[in-house]
Homo-oligomer: A and B are copies of this chain.
Amino acid sequence: MKDPVVRFSVSLPRSLARQFDQMAREKGYDNRSLAIADMIRADLVEHRQQQTGGEIAGTITLVYDHHKPHLLDLLTEIQHDHGNLIIATLHVHLDHHNCLEVLAVRGDGPRIKAVADALIAAKGVKHGKLTITTTGKDLPA
């Protein structure tokens, strides 16, 4: 059962429309509808995350200096304490000091938020970001 297409018209200030067209071109879109559909989907993902509960998927990105005392033990301990939320971790050695670590996570939204907060707040973590996406189930392609 194919999802039928609906058409509607949009009114925009001309300067905004022009800047939108340029950005869509720079991003590689062939037409406005595809660009707008992707913006809507991205907004739906964020919108749902801010609402109550539900299963989410996402990534937690961390950059840290692994020489910081006790940091590795702390980060690993937090991760093992929430092993059911963390699917796997990708670790990249940026240079002799700095690590880029990405955790693929899935589970209850507020609990994932709490793990991300704990990891990002750990002393020695220079930058951290929780990127929430979708489990894909509830989002039409």
Total chain A interface residues with beta-carbon distance under 8 A: 93
Q: Which residues does chain B contribute within 8 Å of A20, judged by CB atoms?
A: 40, 44
The one of B15, B44, B73, B89 that contacts A3, using a Cβ cutoff of 8 Å: B15
Interface residues of A in 87-127 (CB under 8 A from B): 87-100, 102, 104, 106, 114, 117-118, 120-121, 123-127
CA distance A11 to B24 in the complex (A): 15
Tell me whether B9 and A136 are in contact (CB under 8 A): no
CA distance A40 to B88 in the complex (A): 29
Residues of A within 8 A of B (CB): 3-17, 19-20, 23, 26-29, 32-45, 47, 57-59, 61, 63-66, 68, 72-73, 76-77, 79-81, 83, 86-100, 102, 104, 106, 114, 117-118, 120-121, 123-129, 131, 133-137, 139-141
